[in-house]
Structure 1
Amino acid sequence: MAQPARAIAKRTIRRHELREIVPLADTTIYDMEQRGEFPQRFYLTSRCVVWDLGEVEAWLDDRRRASRAKAVKRAPVPDVQLRKTRPVRHQTRA
């Protein structure tokens, strides 16, 4: 019996396409992959690294939903009083 043809074609993307879709630095993407927070890359050849476009798009959708639900932990606001360079000077009124 012949198996039915898949309706959805798998598509892979290379690094330059990934960076157009996901505006993160390569090191950030690598770190997130290592922690299991981003789709894993895989090798087509010894020099060709790709990502599954469907997995990347699903990750983006998950991030969008999490952001709208306020479930993404945001970075704290920096305390400018603790800066070592360009410290904030308090203005005194005369």
Structure 2
Amino acid sequence: MSNPTSALGKRTIRRRQLREIVPLADTTIYDMEQRGEFPQRFYLTARTVVWDLAEVEAWLDERRQASRAKTVNRAPSPDVTLRKSRPIKG
């Protein structure tokens, strides 16, 4: 039996489905799209926005490989001595 998604062509997903696959906030996804770091959404109609599922899955695979290769830039640890409330003596 053949894969149903290949018979139908490209499969698209809406925002709710995207949020189930990629646990990022809408603003984070939007910012990453603007920087070219996430697959671009496109409009099916004037009010319906979708993403290509294959592009999103490929992006996830790239992120997984980058994480395993330790090439993902991580946020620096905060300097707790600079806290304005309850500073830690050190």
**TM-score of the two chains, using structure 2 as the length reference:** 0.88
- For residues 37-86 of structure 1, the C-alpha deviation after alignment (integer angstroms, 9 at most, x for no partner) is 00000000011000000000000000000000000011111111111122
Secondary structure of the corresponding residue to residue 56 of structure 2: helix
1:65 aligns with 2:65: yes
**Which stretches of structure 1, 4 residues or longer, exceed 4 Å deviation after superposition?**
none
Quick one: which amino acid aligns to residue 63 of structure 1?
A: R
* Number of residue pairs aligned between Structure 1 and Structure 2: 84
Partner of residue 74, structure 2: 74
Any unmatched runs of 5+ in structure 1? 1-6
Q: Which residue of structure 1 lines up, in the alignment, with residue 22 of structure 2? A: 22
Cα separation, 1, equivalents of 2:87 and 2:60: 38
Aligned residue in 2 for 1:11: 11
- CA-atom RMSD, angstroms? 1.3
SS of 2:70's equivalent in the other structure is coil
The alignment partner of 1:27 has SS state of helix
* Unmatched runs of 5 consecutive residues or more in structure 2: none
Q: CA deviation at 1:89?
A: 4.3
Partner Cα distance (2:65, 2:73) in 1: 13
Give aligned-pair identity as a percent: 79
Which TM-score applies when normalising by structure 1?
0.84
Whole-angstrom CA distance in 1 between matches of 2:69 and 2:85: 37
